[in-house]
Structures are given as C-alpha cells and as structure tokens.
Structure 1
Amino acid sequence: MKVTPDRRAPRAVGISSTPEELAGLGPLLLAVEANAEDVPALLALAREINEIVPKPGSGQTARLWEILASVTAVDVAAGRILEPHLDAAAIFDQANAQARTLPFTGTWGVFAAEAPGLKLTARNAGGRTILDGSKPWCSLAAQLDHAIVTAHLDGVGRAAFAVDLHADGVSVADPDWASLGLREVPSGTVHFDSVPAIPLGDTGWYYQRPGFGWGGMGVAACWLGGAVAIARSFEEALQKAADGGREPDQLALAHLGEIDRTLEGLRAYLARTAARIDAGELSGSGSWSEALRVRGSVAAAVERIQALVSQNLGPGPLAFDRRYAKRMADLSLYIRQHHAMRDDAQLGALTFKGDHAW
C-alpha cells in the first residue's frame, strides 16, 4: 500500500540521513513554521538549538546541512536568520583559547562584507582593540546582541573581532530596505566610533581557517533547501491539477524530471563533501576551492529550478499565492550572495594553479 505523506506538515530535506532520522527534525520545523516572519522568536529559536546543532567538521556535517536546508525549505527568511547565528557559534568553536574570554551568549551575526567607500579599521589602544569606521550589509544588526566583524589592520591585512552591538559608539543606520525579498532581514550599515572588540584569531585567520569554506557551504545548504521548497510547490501544483482531471503534459513532466535529477545530484554532492570534511580531507587550503564548487553548483541549480517552475506555473501563483511568491522573492535575493561569474573566476584562478582533482 502506498503511503501518501502529509503535505500539510513541514518536511525535512535529506542529504544522508534515513527517513527515520529526518523525522527527528519535526518539532524544530513545526516551530519554524509557527514563528515564520517573527524575527525575535526565530532568533530565540536559534539560541535554543545552538547547543544541539552539530558544528561543521565535528563528524556530523551532513546533519548540520540537513538542518539548515530543512529550516530554509519551511521558510527561506528563517534559514537566513538562523544560519549566521550558528555560523558565529562555529567560528567561536574554531577560534583560539584567548578568543573564548568572551562567552557566547545572546544572539549573533557575522558581518564580513566590504563595499566601496566604507571601511572598518581596528587599532590597538592601551592593550585594547578599538574599532572605527563602517561595515555594510549587516543583517538584523538592530535586533542582535553581538557580531563577529572583519576589520582592516593598518598595513597587515584583515582580522575578525567579536563586538557588543549594544556598546557605546555603535549606531545602526536605517537600511531603507526596498526589496520585497527577505523583508524580515534588512541589511544596512553599522557605524563604529571607538568601540572595543575582542580579537578572534590572528591576522588573516578568519579567511585562512578551513571553517571559512565550511561556512560558505552551509549557506549553500540553505539555498538547496529553498530550491527543494520551490520544487515541492511545483510537484504539488501538478498533483492538484491532476486531481482535478488535468494531467501534466510532457513538458511539465520533463521539467519535473530535470528538477529531480538536479536535486538528487546536489544531495549526493553535499553528502560526499560533508563526509570529506568530517574525514579531514578538506581541512587545508582546498576547502575554499571546494566551497566555490559547491556554492556555484547549488546557485546555478537554484536559478534553473526557479526558472523552470516559474515558466510552468505562470504568473498566477506569483500574483495570488503569498507563500510561493514570498519564497521566490526571498530565494532570488538570498542567492545573490553568490557572485556568479566572479566566483567562477576566483575558482578558475585556483584551478589554474593546480587546485583540482582532474
């Protein structure tokens, strides 16, 4: 007898776990669904699950990515909210003992973006590190307690620092967020005026650690979850039409088949990559090359799946199905964290130096 899954309940996204293991994510996904668009509640949930979510490289990297993908499949913005907090916790775990003088409490973001005309600098003042300047693309800064930020040190590169966002000298500019995508996650500029901070690792450590690539792949796991959600919307729309007597035509079935093999390929790729991380095979400089491959592969798949589904379903759900329209808008903006051909150019430069297996 064929058992039809309850499509009303949020479903996990598997990478390497069994269906029985995935079922254990049910309570978390129900909580995400119940609190979608409620940023304080989702941040509280991020704090709550931090102690039980595996860290990358801990032997359960695939499980971490399943959690990120599954949360994002329920609500893309929820994945965008939870992922930076969990990434910050992982960075703390990777940092040296000196960095742990600051307890990991409250809610956290990771602000490492750069933009023309804006610069955050770090200087030593009487044995303390002081931050001055501005940092762009600081998601939810007004609602977070702390952040890991990257800042320039005079003439020696960049380093990472932990900073209290409630400290004197921190001001969050209104981002004037115009996007209809990720409306719950505005990303504006934060200004720092003589703000004390705690170093996390030495100069360059933030970018050189294997965890930098691992974190980038965690974001790709979120993108995968968004793609799965779009694919599920498509499958459900076809099934609903079939239930009403209109069977899918060959074009719709061909596109559904392409989506299926694309997602299956990505799940296998992520499972294999997670296993390599846990086996210590991606603990050196090659971790960033692999991150670029993973992110590029997932980003291209997301955009292809969005295009196929949008072409098949037409304007109707974009205009009248709020959940579908929000998911498409959220994912379209989220995926732009991938820099497309510029990231491929970076990968090509590493490939040209011989950093490849073929």
Structure 2
Amino acid sequence: MVAAARTAGPDVDAALALARNVSPDSSWLGRTTWAYLRVLGSLGAGDLTVARVIEPHLDALTILAQAAEADGHDFAGGLPGLTPSPSSTWGVYAAHAPGERLLATVADGEWSLSGSKPWCSLADRVSHAIITAHVDDERRRAFVVDLSHPGVRLADAPWVSRGLAAVRSTGLHLHAVPATPVGPVGWYLSRPGFSWGGIAVAAVWFGAASALAQAVLAGARSRTPDQVAMLHLGRLDGALRAAELELRAAAAAIDAGMALGNAGELVAARARNAAAAAAELALTETARALGPAPLTFREEHARRVADLTVYVRQHHGERDLVRSGTLLLGGRA
C-alpha cells in the first residue's frame, strides 16, 4: 500500500481511483481494526495527499455501514438511498463555524438542506458526502448528499495552503438540496464509531512520521553517525513506539467492544495525542538531523513535511490534552 500511495501521489484523480479500490477495507473497522489502521498508516507513509483523500472516503463508508446495522438492516442489502455505488467517492463534512449554518427541513417526508457549510475538503472532486446539519436550534443530524446537484455551490475562497495543496478545502452553499438521513437525530455524534474515526486519522499521522524517521535513519546509515545523530534516532524511536502501542491498544479495544462511550473517547484521545506528538517530534527532529537539503532539493520529502505540518493541525494541541484529563476524571469534555 505504501508503493501504491507513492505511485498515485500527489494526483487527486489517481488517489480517488485508489480509494474506490480499497473501499472494501472499510468493513475492517470494528472487526479487524489493526489491519484497517495499518492500511491508513501505509497510505500516510506513502503519500499524505493520497491518505487525505482516502481516509474520509473510508470513514464515510463505515458510517453508512454503522447506520445500516443500527437500523437492523444488512448493509449488503443496504438502506434505501444509502448504498454507495462502486464508482462513488465520498467526503465527510461535519465542521461547524460561527456565522455559518446548514439547516435541514422536511416536507412530505422528503428532506432537503439549505445554508452554508465550512471546511468541505475535495467538495469539487468527490461525488457524495455525509454532511451534518441542524434540524432545530440545538440538534443536528447527518445526511447523504449528491454533490452534483445544481443546488450545491462552492464558496469562492482562495486555497493558499502549501501543505496538502491539492486537497482543496472550501465552504459549500446549498439551496434546497435533496438529502437522505443517516441515522436518527444526534446519532452521528453518539454512535460508537465517532471517536474511532479520529483514531484512523492518527494512524495516517503515524505513517507519515514513520516515513520521516526512515529518512533520518537512512541519513545516519550513509555516514559514520555522531552522538547527535544517535540522539535524533533515539527520540524518534521512542515517540513512534509509544504511538504504535497506543494505536494497537485502540484497535484491540475497538474489536473487543471496549471502546464505547467515555472509554472509547479516552482510547481515541490517547491514540491521537501519541500520534500527534510523534508527528510533531518527527518534523522537528528530521529538520535538525537532515538540515535544509532535503527540504529544498527532494520533492517527496519537502512535500511530506509540508503536508504533515498542515494535516496534524487536526489535532488541537493543548485543548485535546485538556479533554483527555477531563475524561480521566470521569467527565465529558
């Protein structure tokens, strides 16, 4: 999978083609979760643009499967309007921002969405999305939307990111766009798999950090390493080992049915914290160990550094650590 990602990256069309091919792997989450996380880690090690395209695609498929199971249906048969075609590609848009609101309304049993939605990655490239919308002032619900509907319009905003430059994230404006509910009101956030999706993202960070560490290891092997080189390797090894152990523990907990409720949130928080720490350490140690040359002369390395710098900001730093502490005390953050 590492080689497949490197071959596809950073071409979004090639990444979407690979996403279609690995769609069956989405069924592994909750059953053979470590295998699922290894796929995502391998994608992250190969190319982060590819991983950033495929991770939400697989996440959407797992959400649809969970919704079908929760409703008592076999996903092989699917729920009306929720069975993805093999040619479809997916995003998951659940972010909310002040001043932007997406409202879901129902008339004669048919739902539609109107309003605006921020942070919709690849909305101009994927065919469908799971989108959360308000059903009243307080409550939200998830819906499937066909992004080719004429009522869907991309916000006219620049995308100037140097990392993940090909994975444009933009706002969406929707007007009377037909939508199919995914689970009942509030289900998207309360379902067991909500926190598991964050673990999948952490696996991608871990994969990219591992690839950076391999560059440091290769550099040390290419010459007689001094004590500083050994220091860089030791720091990287410790951080990556800690992240791997947390990811393995999370996978085991999910498969054992022990990653539910607050326990599942804590399992996810630990995995994300460890993987984010490893990623940020890898960025720092790689820069210090290898200097400016690979950042200025090696396309793949420079792109990986820029991509990971942006991607790992999905971790909220100290705020996520506060959340972990709150969960340890038995509260909800």
What does residue 22 of structure 2 align with? 49
Choose the corresponding residue for 1:307, options 255, 260, 284.
Answer: 284
Q: 1:153 Cα deviation (Å)?
A: 1.4
Measure the CA separation in 2 of the matches of 1:176 and 1:83: 24
> Please, which moves more after superposition, 30-39 or 297-306?
30-39
Summarize the alignment of residues 4-153 of structure 1 with structure 2, pairs less than 5 Å apart.
28-58=1-31, 60-96=32-68, 97=71, 100-102=79-81, 103-105=83-85, 106-153=88-135
The percentage of counterpart residues that share the same residue type is 43
Q: 1:237 Cα deviation (Å)?
A: 1.9
What does residue 6 of structure 1 align with? none
Q: 1:256 Cα deviation (Å)?
A: 0.2
Residue 345 (structure 1) aligned with residue 327 (structure 2) = no
What does residue 202 of structure 1 align with? 184
Q: 1:265 Cα deviation (Å)?
A: 2.1
Q: Using a 3 Å threshold, how does the CA distance of structure 1 residues 137 and 41 change in structure 2: closer, same or farther?
A: same
Q: Which amino acid aligns with 2:18?
A: L
* Secondary structure, counterpart of 2:209 in structure 1: helix
User: Contact (CA 8 Å) 2:144, 2:181: kept in 1 or not?
Assistant: yes
Q: 1:174 Cα deviation (Å)?
A: 4.0
Measure the CA separation in 2 of the matches of 1:197 and 1:295: 32
Unaligned ranges ≥5, structure 1: 1-27
Residue 181 (structure 1) aligned with residue 163 (structure 2) = yes
Q: 1:195 Cα deviation (Å)?
A: 0.7
* Secondary structure, counterpart of 1:101 in structure 2: coil
What does residue 145 of structure 2 align with? 163
**Normalised TM-score (structure 2):** 0.92
Q: Which amino acid aligns with 1:101?
A: P
Unaligned ranges ≥5, structure 2: none
Q: 1:47 Cα deviation (Å)?
A: 1.0
Q: Number of matched residues?
A: 322
Q: 1:346 Cα deviation (Å)?
A: 2.5
Measure the CA separation in 2 of the matches of 1:288 and 1:80: 22
Q: 1:348 Cα deviation (Å)?
A: 2.6
**Normalised TM-score (structure 1):** 0.86
* Secondary structure, counterpart of 2:160 in structure 1: coil
Measure the CA separation in 2 of the matches of 1:317 and 1:289: 37
Measure the CA separation in 2 of the matches of 1:141 and 1:294: 28
Q: Which amino acid aligns with 2:63?
A: I
User: Contact (CA 8 Å) 1:139, 1:185: kept in 2 or not?
Assistant: yes
Q: 1:53 Cα deviation (Å)?
A: 4.7
Residue 281 (structure 1) aligned with residue 254 (structure 2) = no
User: Contact (CA 8 Å) 2:95, 2:118: kept in 1 or not?
Assistant: yes
Q: 1:117 Cα deviation (Å)?
A: 1.5
Measure the CA separation in 2 of the matches of 1:352 and 1:49: 39
Measure the CA separation in 1 of the matches of 2:27 and 2:62: 9
User: Contact (CA 8 Å) 1:169, 1:192: kept in 2 or not?
Assistant: yes
Measure the CA separation in 1 of the matches of 2:17 and 2:274: 32
Q: CA RMSD, aligned part only?
A: 1.6
